[in-house]
């Protein structure tokens, strides 16, 4: 496991210490959980973006197919 050093303002550190105390965990554990949660949040956002992009592609294809069926349904020769 690696060690990370970071600089925080005194105010930010006090808030971290207060919140860690409320959760009955160490400062280090609090920071670790915050980083892991942010990583998970970013992964989830990226996954949503990929799903939305795929959904848009499927939607475009569906609209083309619907237009083709509509043309066939309205064709008097059929």
Q: How many CA atoms lie within 13 A of 2 on its CB side?
A: 2
End-to-end CA gap in the chain:
70
Asked whether residue 74 carries a pLDDT value surpassing 80, the answer given is no
pTM as predicted: 0.66
Higher pLDDT: 75 or 42? It is 42
The length of the chain, given as a count of residues: 78
Q: How confident is residue 60, by pLDDT bands cut at 50, 70 and 90?
A: confident
């Amino acid at each position: 496991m690696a060690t990370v050093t970071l600089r925080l303002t005194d105010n930010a550190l006090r808030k971290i210490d207060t919140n860690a105390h409320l959760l009955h965990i160490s400062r280090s554990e609090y920071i670790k959980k915050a980083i892991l949660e942010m990583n998970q949040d970013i992964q989830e956002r990226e996954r949503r973006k990929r799903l939305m992009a795929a959904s848009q592609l499927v939607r475009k294809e569906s609209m083309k197919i619907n237009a083709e069926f509509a043309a066939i349904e309205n064709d008097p020769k059929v």
